[in-house]
Structure 1
Amino acid sequence: MNTPPSPNQNHLLAALPSAEFERIAPHLELVAMPLGEVLYESGGQLHHAYFPTTAIVSLHYVMENGASSEIAGVGNEGVLGISLFMGGNTTPSRAIVQTAGHGFRLKARSLLEEFNRAGPLMRLLLRYTQALITQVSQTAVCNRHHSVEQQLCRWLLLTLDRLPSRELTMTQELIASMLGVRREGITEAAGNLQRTGLISYRRGHITVLDRSGLESHVCECYAVVKQEFDRLLCDVRNRHDFS
């Protein structure tokens, strides 16, 4: 029996002290996030922040010629729409659902009212933003200096960290789009991982058979991002007093 979606499935919402959570809870709206849905476009005005619970959203930077690649992913550990509370209101990236699921959205006004109290929500969101900046920066370095196979391992591990199972529904074409590489490169890299028994790939379904093996193949970038998230957000599993 499926568990009904709950705001507590998002680690940031679950970390809020009760008083702060109760103020925003009436304004949280459960939304379905189907695969491929664009939550906001590059340069568009943001009206909501999104707190994914079971969905994963990919942030893409889109070039003038339409080419794009992923600069970060956001799942149940985070929030979409940091430009709302950072003061920019728009962003040059596109947010598109990578893994279908659910999340909760909050109108910009409600988010800013609580953020401007300069209390636990503000401090929590700023720490998350620092961790997200690390992910974006490390992705840029990884895409420049590491092999497609290492990039694929990094992407698989970061995605697994946001999922309750070892199975991903994702075509090679979509992964190539995420990483900004040729599909042939993903085909070769996935084939290598499958031959070594680390993954099983069949018709758009990837099953990770040996996570520790993936971790031994991945470049340093995965650990850098994971350690920074753990350092900054190690206390977000349950509600705490951030004062």
Structure 2
Amino acid sequence: MAKAFGPPNDHNILLASLSPDLRAVLAPHLELVRLEQRSALEYPQEKIERVTFPVDCVGSMVAVGDEGRRIEVGLFGFDGMSGTSIVMGVETSPLEVFVQVAGDGYTIDTEVFRGLLDQHDALELHFKRYIHCLNIQTTQTALSNGQSKLEERLARWLLMCHDRVSDDRMALTHDFLSIMLGVRRAGVTVGTHILEGKGLIRAGRGVITILDRDGLEAEARGSYGVAEKEYARLFGNPPTD
């Protein structure tokens, strides 16, 4: 099956799907920057300084607990943005947000962004609709984490990451995947071996290649697709102009 958002096209869908008038409001304040892997976008309970709209990078939202416990609760790329709490009028978040796949993104100063949202109700509504989609993704993640086998969870996560990159090859270590899935590294090894044994992926050192996307969707057993369909209903994949 095709990727949920189509291939990356050097734009951010949230920005591209704005009306021309609203895009013109934001455009003078956006700065295109390079974001390296592991770059921090938000620190837990610290004031968010800038909001980022990825173009071809991928961001991860991670819940942090006691004794170093961490698990991913949200994933976004050229479909989304960081700093969602700013849209809701909150300056901080308990989450850690960082870049998991390096690339470019547009950034805007938080105070400028919040000021523009206050001035333009339609702009605020647009980004609140994205938060609605992200909330659905989070609930599906909770359902998957609680009710799915590890290989099903891994299949869903790989599909979500694959949606947001241009290549079938993704630089992903088992250590990194263990954080994303909230399991031990040994569990990730078992999960990748199962998917590899079914011919769905090829796992190398620090790289996973998607071989059979349709097969991965079947392996995910319905845990993938609900949030993606809602996003497509609200935003589609608009062309740049």
TM-score normalised to structure 2 length: 0.92
Kindly indicate whether the alpha-carbon contact (under 8 Å) linking 1:48 and 1:81 is maintained by their aligned counterparts in 2. yes
Per-residue deviation, 1:123: 2.0
Inter-partner Cα distance in structure 1 for 2:97 and 2:123: 23
Inter-partner Cα distance in structure 2 for 1:180 and 1:207: 21
1:103 to 105, 108, 130: 105
Structure 1 moving runs of 4+ over 4 Å: none
Per-residue deviation, 1:18: 1.8
Superposed CA RMSD in Å reads 1.8
Kindly indicate whether the alpha-carbon contact (under 8 Å) linking 1:7 and 1:14 is maintained by their aligned counterparts in 2. no
Kindly indicate whether the alpha-carbon contact (under 8 Å) linking 1:17 and 1:239 is maintained by their aligned counterparts in 2. no
Inter-partner Cα distance in structure 2 for 1:35 and 1:164: 16
Per-residue deviation, 1:114: 2.2
Per-residue deviation, 1:119: 4.0
Gaps of 5+ in 2: 1-7
- Is residue 154 of structure 2 the alignment partner of residue 152 of structure 1? yes
Inter-partner Cα distance in structure 1 for 2:122 and 2:239: 13
Q: 1:23 — aligned with what?
A: 25
Inter-partner Cα distance in structure 2 for 1:231 and 1:214: 23
Q: 1:55 — aligned with what?
A: 57
Q: 2:199 — aligned with what?
A: 197
Per-residue deviation, 1:144: 1.1
In structure 1, the residue corresponding to 2:223 is in which secondary structure? Answer: helix
Equivalent AA in structure 2 for residue 64 of structure 1 = D
Inter-partner Cα distance in structure 2 for 1:222 and 1:49: 27
Per-residue deviation, 1:231: 2.3
Inter-partner Cα distance in structure 2 for 1:229 and 1:22: 23
Q: What is the percentage of aligned positions where both structures have the same residue?
A: 33
Kindly indicate whether the alpha-carbon contact (under 8 Å) linking 1:7 and 1:13 is maintained by their aligned counterparts in 2. no
Inter-partner Cα distance in structure 1 for 2:98 and 2:112: 23
Inter-partner Cα distance in structure 1 for 2:88 and 2:108: 16
Inter-partner Cα distance in structure 2 for 1:8 and 1:101: 11
Inter-partner Cα distance in structure 2 for 1:223 and 1:85: 25
Equivalent AA in structure 1 for residue 84 of structure 2 = I
2:75 to 73, 78, 92: 73
Q: 2:226 — aligned with what?
A: 224
Query: May I ask how many residue pairs the two structures share in their alignment?
Result: 234
Inter-partner Cα distance in structure 2 for 1:223 and 1:8: 24
- 1:1-243 to structure 2, matched below 5 A, reads 9-234=11-236, 236-238=237-239
Q: 1:3 — aligned with what?
A: none
In structure 2, the residue corresponding to 1:220 is in which secondary structure? Answer: coil
Inter-partner Cα distance in structure 1 for 2:58 and 2:74: 11
Inter-partner Cα distance in structure 2 for 1:171 and 1:106: 31
TM-score normalised to structure 1 length: 0.91
